[in-house]
């Protein structure tokens, strides 16, 4: 294997985690007032902001309207400063189109769209990789940035602000919180996690160095309560005998994520109810 | 606690980027000490009373060795290493601090943490302390300033009361190297790695593996692997040019100008110098002015890329100076230079086989410096010599570890109903096995019966080892590493634990055993009509030896099922063999000898060449058939990852010696395997019945090695010797790992087992093949060495013998003689140091050697006297001297060879 030893003999990973341990996960809901729902989520160094508008009437071409359920419209973008190299990422490049599509599929499976026929829900996610700012300050700085951008472009953001691996799963987790914040009913939390396979051991929640270290990785979005898989994506080679263990590990990791998300939601509700004086 | 690591990196395009990485500091790495109650340890590796009596530290203590200590020493195993990604011991790199310094400091902090941590349990530790071992002066100083207990490694080891011999094992550290050697610089400096790399890139240097010559210590070749297939050899001559390279090192060489190229000398030269000869080392060899054609690319070693040192077996040459602690060590392998070691136990170690590791080779020293590792026992003793033999051939021969044994089936073992579900019940069949006498690992059995339609059903049943050895567990890994069972004279080094090899897998008679069966329907012309493979259960009706089976076939009175089955097999085998030979399969010959061992002392008491009977070839024929059928099947099923065996056709030049030798008597065609086989069959000389066998022995030496390979990595599958387009090994899974893999592949192919990732990975398979090929080669060498050693033992008890033999090869100063009676080969030298050498003329065309008036050809009949030369205890050898033809001044008079009385007694 080239270069880095991803899993030491003692069972520790590059950043000191054990194989099954997730990165530190922090989140806040309702960070963005104009939107119907919003959330900011940090999973290790990967940071994402998700914003939800809707459900509202169909905009743009009316021909896309579905008569029995709502249309989910997702858009994913990465901040120019989100990776170590500053690179301009034009809108609608392949990677983000693909990611948007995946997100759309995931949320079509989770959101109870049949409750809102003939309408549309917009989910915007933006990922950023930047320097570590403190949670709140980071958001403020980011929001300023969005506002500026927003004036020019009509639709932006479910945004990865900083990316250190696991972009898809971080987006899903952030978007879940945003959808909940918007009060749109879902079947369950959608929790996602990436897992990789090194030395016959599944590693949960890969960071960027691991993703690029020649690991075959798999992303899985799960509805944890029923154990249904909303999306499973993998584009590396893996022996089929290992798939089972890998999915197993991904599901456990997703359940871990769901616990954290649940806590965030509960805490947010408590804060909100205190504010509204109930 | 979370910390982020930030660092700046330059990208390939020249930009600068900033990388931020998370670093989780853990608080759950336990100290691992038995006395600690605070840490929630899962396993305690540090015992409470880890104690070595030391005069420096009279209290119990843990050692923390600095990495520079560990790397250079083979110290005893009571040193525990510690991991420090821990919360308390994490330190930030200070600005301006080098990586090395940071590591040193990390160790100091770790030690400090440990000592404080242990102090909290003062009551039950008995004053347990932590001691840091380092060789770095600066580190030691700083540690003392911090109030830590610190010693230099040498001080510490010297202070150990219980084990004074440990001092010998200390590697010579760089500080005290200077005093050993004279100030004279003997070798040119090695180039630094960076310059070597640029040199290799610009192809002014070549990179290759250094192979010292076995016969001449001043000569070596460097094997340079070129692009693709082609590879070259660079000759290196002279001490200066060899420049401290040791056999198997990876080195960089620079080619000398063409005018300085030389031919390899065919002179045998051994380093006879003693410890004092640092000065008179310049034994310049008279450069042989060779014909232009014989000159080879010649070069010199400019640097070492990778040392490949291992502990070497050998013996100590005790220094003549009394009280000297420095001695020279002579390795058993002649390609390894002698090593200077320091020991105080010279008197006890002399006469023993010992192991020594090399520490370094300074440029002002004639010999490398090393240190004593362990003693193997008295030289010449059977056990010691066997150990040396195994070590030198890198044969893993330790007892199986507990982890490996834990994967064995629990006894009493029985076939379960689940096993039966998936298997065909072939127990009613009359199956029997035919093996050499005394064989306990029976891996094949046969049956043959007539079907209702008049055809014959023949089955080959192979022990189902893959049922017991599951992929990936410790047992499997151990077997894969060992690769093969090694058969020495009177000893067997098993590939799998004995419970499997001699019991559960062995297809013994009258017990139910699991098997993998290959069953054909064959008509009476030996044409295969149907082939099928199945996992089965068999119950062998008889375990026969070759001789017993032969007797049954020949005895016309016997008409039981087993005998009938054997006759059927024998009849088919003859037809199969004829078909095979018609296709061009070679029948080669090599003499194999068998020792009759004394049952108590295990000393050889008699020696005979193995006899081949019809039944040998009967079993062989069906094994070949099974192997070929299986090879075809697994290749059809897995074209990318089938493990096959090939035997490449030798390059035509290999046959030169054979053609030349036979020229005077018969003509040998070597255009194809078929032509060779035919001309070998036709080669008969009246009144010289042994001629044909000799030719075949010679032909065997011309062949290439057969090798395992992975079908996805190669395109040439042909097996030259067997004249088969495809071949593999399926029939001996108890003693060859390749067969286990083939079993697994076949099991998957017929749906009897599931696959696993490594089986389908052609790169991993290919790596496995390399190991198997290496182990096979080494086991063959070990086998030969063992035979040679036992031959020596045999001749030791026999005294001097006179025997007839044939000249097998002619060399410049010697002839190599084969004694058919013992299958023994020996060299008769015509020039010796103490005598005036006779007039010798060597002719390349022929090749012939004229000694005085007599001219030796290959295949000449000679008479020699055989005795054991034990003047060099490390390399005892059989000495042969010429009796007939009588050449004045060369041949020796035939000595009386009274057989010792002892022999008469034992030889019943």
Q: Complex ipTM, two decimals?
A: 0.72
Q: What is the DSSP string of B409-424?
A: PPSSP---HHHHHTSE
Q: How confident is the model at residue B904 (pLDDT cuts 50, 70, 90)?
A: very low
Q: A71-78 and A158-162 as β-strands: parallel, antiparallel, unpaired?
A: parallel
Total beta-carbon pairs less than 8 A apart between chain A and chain B: 49
DSSP run (H or E) holding B679: helix B673-682
The distance of A78 to chain B (nearest Cα, Å) reads: 17
Q: Find, among A270, A84, A41, the residue nearest to B18 by Cα.
A: A84
Task: Return the higher-pLDDT residue of B135 and A24.
Answer: A24
Distance from CA of A210 to the nearest CA of B (A): 11
**Residues in A lying within 8 Å of B, measured between beta carbons:** 10, 12, 14-17, 21, 23-24, 44-45, 84-85, 129, 131-132, 164, 207, 209, 239, 241-242
In angstroms, the CA B480 to CA B484 distance is 8
User: Which residues on chain B are in Cβ contact (under 8 Å) with A164?
Assistant: 20-22
Per-residue pLDDT tens digits for B31-50: 666 556 555 555 545 555 44
How far A14 CA lies from chain B's nearest CA (Å)? Answer: 8
Contact list in A for residue B760 (CB cut-off 8 A) is 239
Residues of chain B contacting A23 with CB distance shorter than 8 Å: 22
Nearest residue on chain B to A16, alpha-carbon basis: B24
What confidence tier does A43 reach under pLDDT thresholds 50, 70, 90?
Answer: confident
CATH, residue A94: 3.30.230.70
Supply the pLDDT for residue A153: 28
In a domain, A261, yes or no: yes
Q: In chain B, what residues touch A21 (CB-CB under 8 Å)?
A: 24
Domain contains A20: no
In the structure, what pLDDT confidence band is assigned to residue B84 with cuts at 50, 70 and 90? very low
Give the pLDDT confidence score for residue B30 in this predicted structure.
62
Residue A46 lies in a domain: yes
Q: In this model, does residue B531 exceed pLDDT 80?
A: yes
DSSP one-letter code for B88:
T
Q: For chain A, what is the domain count? A: 1
Instruction: Inform me whether the pLDDT recorded for B232 exceeds 80.
Output: no
pLDDT digits (tens, 9 = 90+) for A207-241: 888 887 777 889 999 999 888 999 998 888 787 77
- Which of B108-112, B263-267, B585-589, B644-648 comes out lowest in average pLDDT? B263-267
- Which of B2, B15, B760 comes nearest A239 by C-beta? B760
Out of A40-49, B38-47, B387-396, B467-476, pick the least confident: B38-47
Q: Which tokens sit at B855? A: 């001219």
Query: What's the pLDDT score for residue A130?
Result: 42
Q: Do the chains contact at A24 and B755, CB–CB below 8 Å?
A: no
Contact predicate B825/B788, CB 8 Å:
no
Calculate mean pLDDT across residues B104-129. Answer: 62
Q: Considering only A171-185, B37-51, B566-580, B759-773, which range has the smallest mean pLDDT?
A: B37-51
Using an 8 Å Cβ cutoff, are B566 and B516 in contact? no
* Residues of chain A contacting B85 with CB distance shorter than 8 Å: 12, 16
Write out chain A residues lying below 8 Å of B22, CB-based: 15, 23-24, 44-45, 164, 207
Residue A7 lies in a domain: no
Q: Which of A100-104, A250-254, B145-149, B397-401 has the lowest mean pLDDT?
A: B145-149
A132/B22 Cβ within 8 A: no
Say which residue, B669 or B748, is predicted with more confidence: B748
Mean pLDDT of B431-435: 90
Higher pLDDT, B111 or B487: B487
B474 touches chain A (CB under 8 A): no
Closest CA to B646 of B559, B554, B732, B711: B711
Tens of pLDDT, residues A186-196: 999 999 999 98
On whether any CB of chain A is under 8 Å from the CB of B12, the answer is no
What is the pLDDT averaged over residues B608-622? 78
Contacts of residue B18 in chain A, CB cutoff 8 Å?
Answer: 84
Asked if the structure places residue A8 within a domain, the reply is: no
Nearest-Cα distance to chain B for A233, in Å, is 21
Whether residue A6 lies inside any domain: the answer is no
Average pLDDT over residues A53-80: 83
CB contact under 8 A, B17 and A84: yes
A14 to chain B: nearest residue by CA?
B23
Mean pLDDT of B813-825: 78
Its pTM surpasses 0.90: no
Spatial contact of B660 and B846, defined as CB atoms under 8 Å apart: yes
CA distance A242 to A202: 9
CA distance A270 to chain B (A): 28
- pLDDT at position B580 is 86
Q: In this complex, is the C-beta atom of B26 within 8 Å of any C-beta atom belonging to chain A?
A: yes
Residues in chain B closer than 8 A to A131 (CB atoms): 20
Identify the domain containing residue A181 by its residue range: 25-276
- Preferred mutation among A23, A46, A84 to probe B, highest tally of B CBs within 10 A: A84
E-assigned strand segments in B14-169? 16-24, 61-65, 129-134, 149-152
Cis peptide before B289 (omega within 30 of 0): no
B760/A10 Cβ within 8 A: no
More confident residue, B100 or B466: B466
**Chain B residues inside the 8 Å CB shell of A4:** none
Contacts of B11 in chain A (CB under 8 A): 85
Of B212-226, B287-301, B471-485, the one with minimum mean pLDDT is B287-301
pLDDT for residue A250 is more than 90 = yes
Query: Which chain A residues are within 8 Å of B20, Cβ to Cβ?
Result: 45, 84, 129, 131-132, 164
Interchain contact, B20 vs A10, CB within 8 Å: no
Please tell me the predicted confidence (pLDDT) of residue A173: 93
Q: What is the pLDDT of residue B152?
A: 65
Q: How far is B428 from chain A (nearest CA, A)?
A: 38
Find the helix packing angle between B762-798 and B474-482, rounded to 10°. Answer: 60
In this predicted structure, the answer to whether residue B10 has a pLDDT above a threshold of 60 is no
- Interface probe for A, chosen from B3, B16, B19, B22 (most Cβ of A below 10 Å), is B22
Supply B380's token pair.
């010449």
Q: Could you tell me if A37 and A163 are in contact, meaning their C-beta atoms sit under 8 angstroms apart? A: no
Contact B878, B822 (CB under 8 A): no
The string of DSSP letters for A137-171 reads HHHHHHHHHHHHHHHHSS---EEEEE-SS-HHHHH
Q: Is B14 an 8 Å CB contact of chain A?
A: no
Does any domain span residue A189?
yes
Q: How far is it, in rounded angstroms, from Cα A156 to Cα A158?
A: 7
Residue B6 has pLDDT above 70, yes or no: no
More confident residue, B187 or B90: B187
Cα A189 to chain centroid, rounded: 12
pLDDT digits (tens, 9 = 90+) for B343-372: 777 777 777 888 888 877 877 778 888 877
> Does the residue A90 lie in any domain?
yes
Average pLDDT of the segment spanning B757-764: 81
Note whether B756 contacts A10, CB cutoff 8 Å: no
Q: Does B2 touch chain A (CB under 8 A)?
A: yes
Residue B111 makes CB contacts below 8 A (sequence gap 6+) with: B64, B130, B132, B143, B148
The region of weakest confidence among B395-399, B574-578, B821-825 is B821-825
Residue B708 has pLDDT above 80, yes or no: yes
Q: In the structure, what pLDDT confidence band is assigned to residue A163 with cuts at 50, 70 and 90?
A: low
DSSP codes of every residue in B471-492: TTSHHHHHHHHH-B-EEETTEE
- A-chain CB neighbours of B4 within 8 Å are 45, 132
């Amino acid at each position: 294997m080239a270069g880095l030893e991803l899993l030491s003999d003692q069972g520790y990973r590059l950043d000191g985690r054990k194989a099954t341990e997730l990165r530190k996960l922090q989140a806040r809901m309702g960070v963005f007032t104009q939107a119907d729902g919003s959330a900011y989520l940090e999973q290790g160094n990967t940071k994402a902001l998700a914003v939800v508008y809707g459900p509202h009437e169909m905009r743009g071409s009316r021909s896309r309207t579905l008569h029995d359920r709502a249309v989910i419209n997702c858009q994913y973008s990465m901040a120019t400063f989100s990776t170590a190299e500053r690179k301009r990422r034009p809108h609608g490049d392949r990677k983000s189109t693909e990611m948007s599509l995946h997100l759309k599929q995931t949320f079509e499976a989770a959101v109870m769209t049949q409750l809102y026929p003939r309408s549309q829900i917009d989910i915007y996610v933006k990922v950023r990789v930047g320097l570590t700012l403190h949670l709140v300050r980071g958001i403020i700085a980011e929001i300023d940035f969005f506002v500026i951008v927003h004036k020019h472009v009509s639709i932006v953001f479910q945004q990865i602000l900083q990316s250190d691996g696991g972009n898809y799963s971080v987006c899903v987790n952030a978007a879940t919180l945003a959808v909940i914040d918007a009060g749109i009913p879902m079947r369950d939390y959608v929790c996602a996690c990436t897992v990789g396979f090194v030395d016959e051991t599944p590693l949960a929640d890969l960071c960027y160095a691991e993703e690029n270290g020649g690991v075959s990785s798999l992303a899985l979005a799960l509805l944890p309560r029923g154990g249904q898989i909303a999306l499973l994506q993998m584009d590396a080679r893996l022996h089929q005998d290992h798939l089972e263990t890998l999915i197993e590990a991904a599901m456990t990791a997703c359940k871990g994520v769901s616990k954290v998300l649940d806590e965030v939601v509960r805490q947010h509700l408590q804060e909100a109810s205190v504010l509204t004086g109930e | 606690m979370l910390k982020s690591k930030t660092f700046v990196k330059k990208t390939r395009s020249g930009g600068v980027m900033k990388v931020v990485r998370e670093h989780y500091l853990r608080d759950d790495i336990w100290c691992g000490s038995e006395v600690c109650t605070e840490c929630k340890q899962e396993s305690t590796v540090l015992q409470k009373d880890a104690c070595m009596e030391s005069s420096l530290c009279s209290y119990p203590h843990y050692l923390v060795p600095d990495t520079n200590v560990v790397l250079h020493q083979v110290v005893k195993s009571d040193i525990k290493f510690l991991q420090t990604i821990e919360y308390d011991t994490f330190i930030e790199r200070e600005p301006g601090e080098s990586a090395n310094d940071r590591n040193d400091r990390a160790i100091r902090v770790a030690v400090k943490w440990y000592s404080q941590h242990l102090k909290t349990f003062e009551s039950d530790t008995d004053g347990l302390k932590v001691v840091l071992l380092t060789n770095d002066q600066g580190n030691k100083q700083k540690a003392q300033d911090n109030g830590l207990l610190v010693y230099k490694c040498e001080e510490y080891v010297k202070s150990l009361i219980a084990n004074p011999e440990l001092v010998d094992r200390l590697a010579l550290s760089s500080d005290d190297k200077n005093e050993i050697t004279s100030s004279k610089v003997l070798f040119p400096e090695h180039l630094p790695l960076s310059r070597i790399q640029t040199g290799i890139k610009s192809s002014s240097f070549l990179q290759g593996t250094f192979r010292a010559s076995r016969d001449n210590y001043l000569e070596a070749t460097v094997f340079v692997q070129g692009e693709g297939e082609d590879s070259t050899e660079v000759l290196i001559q002279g001490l200066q040019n060899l420049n401290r390279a040791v056999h198997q090192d990876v080195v960089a060489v620079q080619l000398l100008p063409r005018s300085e190229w030389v031919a390899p000398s065919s002179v045998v030269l051994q380093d006879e110098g003693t410890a004092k000869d640092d000065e008179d080392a310049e034994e310049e060899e008279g450069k042989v002015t060779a014909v232009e054609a014989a000159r080879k690319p010649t070069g010199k070693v400019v640097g070492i890329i990778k040392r490949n040192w291992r502990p070497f077996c050998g013996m100590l040459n005790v220094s003549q100076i009394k009280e000297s602690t420095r001695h020279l060590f002579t390795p058993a392998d002649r390609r390894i230079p002698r090593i200077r070691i320091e020991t105080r136990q010279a008197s006890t170690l002399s006469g023993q086989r010992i192991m020594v590791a090399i520490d370094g080779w300074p440029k002002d020293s004639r010999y490398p410096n090393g240190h004593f590792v362990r003693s193997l026992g008295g030289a010449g003793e059977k056990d010691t010599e066997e150990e040396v033999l195994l070590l030198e051939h890198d044969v893993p021969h330790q007892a199986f570890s507990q982890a490996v044994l834990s994967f064995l089936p629990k006894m009493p073992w029985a076939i379960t109903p689940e096993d039966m579900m998936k298997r065909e019940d072939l127990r009613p069949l009359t199956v029997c096995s035919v093996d050499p006498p005394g064989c306990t690992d029976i891996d094949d059995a046969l049956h043959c019966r007539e079907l209702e339609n008049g055809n014959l059903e023949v089955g080959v049943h192979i022990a189902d080892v893959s049922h017991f050895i599951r992929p990936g567990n410790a047992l499997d890994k151990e077997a894969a590493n060992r690769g093969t069972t090694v058969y020495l004279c009177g000893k067997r080094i098993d590939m799998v634990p004995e419970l499997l090899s001699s019991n559960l897998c062995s297809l013994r008679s009258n017990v139910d055993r699991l098997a993998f069966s290959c069953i054909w329907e064959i008509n009476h012309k030996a044409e295969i009509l149907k082939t099928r493979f199945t996992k089965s259960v068999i119950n062998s009706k008889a375990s026969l030896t070759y001789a017993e089976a032969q007797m049954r076939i020949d005895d016309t009175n016997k008409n039981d099922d087993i005998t009938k089955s054997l006759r059927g097999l024998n009849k088919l085998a003859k037809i199969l063999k004829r078909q095979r030979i018609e296709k061009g399969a070679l029948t080669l010959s090599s003499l194999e000898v068998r020792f009759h061992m004394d049952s108590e002392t295990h000393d050889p008491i008699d020696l005979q060449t193995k006899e081949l009977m019809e039944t040998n070839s009967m079993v062989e024929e069906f094994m070949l058939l099974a192997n070929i059928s299986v090879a075809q099947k697994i290749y059809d099923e897995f074209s990318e990852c089938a493990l096959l065996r090939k035997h490449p056709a030798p390059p035509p030049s290999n046959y030169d010696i054979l053609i030349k030798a036979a020229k005077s008597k018969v003509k040998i065609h070597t255009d194809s395997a078929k032509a060779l086989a035919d001309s070998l069959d036709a080669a008969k000389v009246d009144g010289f019945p042994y001629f044909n066998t000799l030719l075949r022995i010679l032909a065997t030496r011309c062949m290439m090695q057969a090798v395992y390979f992975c079908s996805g990595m190669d395109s040439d599958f042909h097996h030259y010797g067997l004249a088969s387009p495809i071949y593999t090994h399926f029939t001996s899974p108890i003693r060859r790992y390749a067969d286990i893999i083939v079993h697994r592949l076949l099991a998957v192919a017929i749906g009897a087992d599931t696959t696993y990732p490594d089986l389908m990975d052609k790169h991993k398979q290919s790596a496995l093949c390399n190991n198997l090929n290496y182990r096979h080669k080494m086991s063959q060498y070990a086998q030969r060495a063992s035979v040679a050693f036992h031959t020596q033992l045999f001749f030791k008890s026999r005294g001097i013998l006179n025997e007839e033999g044939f000249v097998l090869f002619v060399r410049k100063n010697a002839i190599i003689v084969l004694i058919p009676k013992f299958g023994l080969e020996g060299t008769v030298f015509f020039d010796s140091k103490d005598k005036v050498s006779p007039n010798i003329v060597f002719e390349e065309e022929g090749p012939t050697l004229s000694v005085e008036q007599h001219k030796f050809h290959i295949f000449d009949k000679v008479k020699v006297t055989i005795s054991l030369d034990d003047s060099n205890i490390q390399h005892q050898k059989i000495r042969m001297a010429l009796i007939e033809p009588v050449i004045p001044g060369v041949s020796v008079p035939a000595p009386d060879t009274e057989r010792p009385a002892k022999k008469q007694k034992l030889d019943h």
